[in-house]
């Protein structure tokens, strides 16, 4: 009873858990140890198969594509995130000194990408399915996407239908300095 409850839990239905279990089940050393433990070693060595390996293969319900899949390389994304952050450092003052639609568009894209990656990291790190349930993390990621699309759309609206991002900031600074005088 406890094993069946464990097998149905979210830990056992996880893709990474399934990959590890399949990797362990298909290792030759494990197949030989399992066959020896079941005292059918000679039978298993003659056929080149193990009973446990056959039973695991018979319960597969989806095609095996995980072994052909390359692991995701997140170091490239990290480099891109840092490059975007580094590009914002000179682009913000340059856009404020020479406001135009090109700098405004670059700023809109880079600021939105930078904030998307930050908010996504917060949602993934702090809204975990193991803590808050399976629905809330999906809603958090959906909210991050919605917020990012709305931000990018709003910034492009300001660029195309108003004075632009950098000119808007300059106008805000001008109002602030007039109030102090």
Give the global pTM. 0.58
- CA 111 vs. chain centroid, Å, equals 19
Instruction: State the span(s) of the chain assigned CATH 1.20.1300.10.
Output: 74-180
pLDDT in tens, the chain (181 residues): 444 555 566 655 667 666 666 666 666 654 455 545 455 445 444 555 555 555 545 544 444 454 445 556 678 899 999 999 999 999 999 999 999 999 999 999 999 999 999 999 999 999 999 999 999 999 999 999 999 999 999 999 999 999 999 999 999 988 877 777 6
| CB-based contacts of 132-135 (< 8 A; 24+ apart in sequence) | 134/10
Class of domain 74-180: mainly alpha
Backbone angles phi, psi at 71, to 5 degrees: -70, 150
Closest CA to 97 of 176, 166, 178, 165: 166
Distance CA 135, CA 139 (A): 6
Q: How far apart are the first and last CA of the chain?
A: 78
Closest CA to 13 of 98, 134, 112, 132: 134
């Amino acid at each position: 009873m406890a094993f069946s409850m464990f097998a149905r839990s979210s830990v056992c239905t996880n893709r990474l858990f399934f990959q590890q279990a399949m990797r362990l089940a298909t290792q030759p050393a494990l197949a030989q140890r399992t066959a020896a433990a079941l005292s059918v070693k000679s039978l298993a060595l003659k056929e080149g198969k193990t009973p446990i390996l056959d039973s695991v293969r018979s319960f597969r319900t989806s095609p095996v594509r995980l072994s052909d899949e390359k692991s995701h390389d997140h170091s490239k994304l990290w480099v891109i995130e840092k490059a975007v952050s580094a590009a914002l450092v000179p682009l913000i003052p340059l856009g404020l000194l020479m406001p135009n639609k090109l700098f405004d568009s670059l700023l809109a894209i880079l600021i939105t990408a930078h904030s998307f990656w930050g908010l996504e990291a917060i949602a993934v790190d702090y809204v975990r399915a193991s803590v808050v349930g399976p629905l809330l993390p999906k809603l958090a990621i959906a909210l991050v996407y919605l917020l990012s699309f709305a931000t990018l759309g709003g910034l492009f609206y300001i660029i195309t239908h108003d004075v632009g991002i950098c000119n808007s900031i300059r106008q805000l600074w001008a109002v602030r300095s007039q109030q102090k005088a």
